[in-house]
Each structure stands twice: as C-alpha cells, then as structure tokens.
Structure 1
C-alpha cells in the first residue's frame, strides 16, 4: 500500500534523504525512527506529496504522489509535525471545514465529524476554540482530521507528542484497532512506542535506512536486548561499520 523507491532529497549540496526504499503492506504498523536531522520528517513529507523529491518515487495504493497526487491523497491520512489548523475555529467547526474540503456534505459530513471526534475522544471540547486547547488536545485535533475520510494509509509524525500518559494509551489503543485494515507509518522519538504499537521498525541515520526488521529482531542486535541500545549503536556508528538488519 506504500511503495518508496530510491527516494532522495537534496537542498543545495546537503543531502537530507539519500536513496531510501521500503514498502508497507496492509496490516503493518511501521515505526520510523532516527535521531534529529536524520531525514524522517523530510521522507514523510515527500511520501505525503507535500515536498518534491530530487529523485525517486513514492506511491500510495498504486498512485504516484507526484503524477497522480489527488488520487494518492484520497487514500492518505497525514498528521504532520506541528499540524496546521485555524486557531480561532472551534474543534467541530475545523473538522467540518476539513470534511467539506474533502467533498462531504449533509448527513455524511456530520457522521464523519462525529466519528472522528469519538475516535480521538474530543467530544468534550468540540465547541472550544482550538487556540484555547492544551498541546495534547491540539495534537488530537490534528489526528482527528487525518481520520475523517477513513483512509487506508496513515502517516503520523509524532502522533503522541504532548499527550499525557492516559492520552498516549488511548491513541495507541486506537492505532491497534485500526491496524488490521490499514498501512500505518509512525515517526517517533519514543522507543517504547515502537514496542507498544509497531509490527516493524526502520531506523534512518544520515538520510539512509540503516536497519529494517521487527522490533524483537532488532533488539537481538545488542547484548542488552534493548531497542534503545540498538538505536544508539546503529545511529552513532560510522556508515561503513553499521549493522545491517
């Protein structure tokens, strides 16, 4: 459902993403990991069609995100880092606006908004202006807009950023419920989140994929059996010496 081949992004002489390739099938929850500046967000923006690659291709449900972008985005729910919204709007008004942009009208529009509010536990703040919400609630509004059209592919950049422990548990449970029918990519700095929700993990460093396997298999690459130690070892080792998972 997600197919990336040779994806590359250069900014002048700096290569942010360097020949990245991977696929994600229905039912997979892929944890996309890497240190700051590794190229995670840039890769996700190119996959979502919000940034043009220097080279390579990205397809969502068979649709090229550059040459068939409208069809690709119909299949995609995207939660970017620092998801934009209209702070003066109430939560419900914002979601209704997004639903109209996606072409929903009448009763179906109301049903879509109600479902998104329910999935993200936002009913209690539906009439509050977004600017009055906490960081965690704002993040959940961003997640709600990505779920409005029940897309088969979800790309979530730091979906639990700013959430308290209870809210994190709720979002992780929601991802578990959705996982069997979707292909989901989660970018996160929280390694415990990989164990909690991901069926597979990719580690990227210096713009390149340096490991790709199930979390349990990756943990065996270090004597401690801890993903944190594997992550540190792989991302701090010179490229020529890195472990190939």
Structure 2
C-alpha cells in the first residue's frame, strides 16, 4: 500500500494506478489517490475544520471552504467542524482521516486497517461509511478480518507472504472455505458453448466465462464431478485441453 501511494519506492516490478506508473508518473498517481494509514496523522490541537482547510491548502485546492464543508457533510462530521480533534472519539477521528483522504476527490481511496482499535459501534459506523464511499470511487481496503472484507468489499484478494493466493467475490470465497472448490477448464476456443451444458450439471454453480477458451465453476467437494464435466464438454462438441481443481 505504501508503494501504491508513493510513500515507498518499489525494489522490483511495476504498478500502475488509474493508468499511471507509480515511479515514472508519481505526481499524477498522488493526485488520484487518497490514503488513510493505519495510524491517522492528525493535529489534535486544531479544530476539525481548520485541519481539513490546512490539508486542502497543501493540495492547492480551489474554493477551499466549500470543499471542506462538502467533505465534512460526506463523512457525517459537519456538526463537529468547530470541535477540537483532540476531544473526538477514535471513531470520529477515523472519519476526520477519511475526510482528509477525500478532500481532492480521488479516483482511488486506499485504507489500511480502517477499523482497528474501534469499539463495535464505531466499527459499524465506519464500515457503513466506507460502503457509501465505495459507490462513487474505487476503494482498496487492507484488513486481517475476513468477515470485515466480506461485509464491505465486492471483491477480495488474499495475500500470503507477498503473493496472491486467492481472488474472488466474497460469496465464492466463503463457499470455498466451506468445502467447495473452484475448477477452471481450458478448451480449444468457443468456451461459451460449454457454459449451458456445465451449468446444467448437478452440484455445479457460479459458472463464469473467462475469455474465449476458459471458464470457471464451483462445485461441492463431496462429489467428484470431473467425469460429468468431460462428458458435458464432449456433448458440446468441444476439445478440452486442461482441467484444474484448486481449493482455497
């Protein structure tokens, strides 16, 4: 996350945000990214409004006072604008942190453990706020709590030792954890013709077409469905080149 936000240079590889290279076009990336680190950097002796105005001035934003007021309204802090940050609860401080990340209306919002250290009521408030924000822009959320990702996110990536080991919708990942498996088959083109046949097999669900020659589906691990899949592909008059089965 620090690499994507420009806080740390990569040691290897490349990455782009909103189409811009994080190294070659770092300033363009920063214009389009809002970042809320795990520990929110706030000036507790300032009022909420003054702090956000200060941050907006640093970004050279036009019409600063209106921008700050609109952002405070967006995160539900308009009635706290004149209060000192030091007097706010941790949940409210998280909202201030979100507000500073949203001031410049970024295309991508990156949040690092946004609910850590909050009480249950504050967690619910922050999660609801993130869901609302996610309707208008891309939100990249880091969390160690799978249930939190399931409640907030449309898509989940699980990373282990720096490598992506799973990527799917929350529903599909939950099914995988519950004992289901996903299978990918590779055909000699025209994979769309196999979708109907495979979808009709008992125990098969969530058939997803992945290009001209690939499709994925989910099935219950209690039944070995591979022979039926082979027969379905033959019935569709297609050639299967490979079938992969991988549990999460």
* Secondary structure at the counterpart of residue 168 of structure 1: helix
Largest Rg, 1 or 2: 2
1:185 paired to 2:148: no
Report the count of equivalent residues: 183
Q: Distance in 2 between matches of 1:72 and 1:220?
A: 36
State the match for 2:129 in structure 1. Answer: 174
* Secondary structure at the counterpart of residue 57 of structure 1: coil
State the match for 2:42 in structure 1. Answer: 85
Any gaps of 5 or more consecutive residues in structure 2?
A: 181-245
Q: Is 1:143–1:159's contact at 8 Å kept on the other side of the alignment?
A: no
- Structure 1 pair 139–174 and aligned structure 2 pair: CA distance change class (3 A): closer
1:219 paired to 2:174: yes
Pick the aligned partner of 1:129 from 75, 78, 84: 84
- CA RMSD in angstroms comes to 2.0
Task: Trace 1:139-218 onto structure 2 (pairs within 5 A).
Answer: 139-218=94-173
Relative to the length of structure 1, the TM-score reads: 0.68
Q: Is 2:71–2:102's contact at 8 Å kept on the other side of the alignment?
A: yes
Q: Distance in 2 between matches of 1:53 and 1:88?
A: 35
Q: Distance in 2 between matches of 1:170 and 1:131?
A: 20
State the match for 1:70 in structure 2. Answer: 27
1:164 offset after TM fit, Å?
3.9
* Secondary structure at the counterpart of residue 121 of structure 1: coil
Relative to the length of structure 2, the TM-score reads: 0.67
Any gaps of 5 or more consecutive residues in structure 1?
A: 1-43, 226-242
* Secondary structure at the counterpart of residue 47 of structure 1: coil
Q: Is 1:96–1:110's contact at 8 Å kept on the other side of the alignment?
A: yes
State the match for 2:17 in structure 1. Answer: 60
- Structure 1 pair 81–199 and aligned structure 2 pair: CA distance change class (3 A): same
Q: Deviations over 1:128-156 (max 9, x none)?
A: 22223222222111111011111111101
State the match for 1:36 in structure 2. Answer: none
1:78 offset after TM fit, Å?
0.7
Q: Distance in 2 between matches of 1:193 and 1:176?
A: 11
Q: Is 1:139–1:162's contact at 8 Å kept on the other side of the alignment?
A: no
Q: Distance in 2 between matches of 1:97 and 1:216?
A: 42
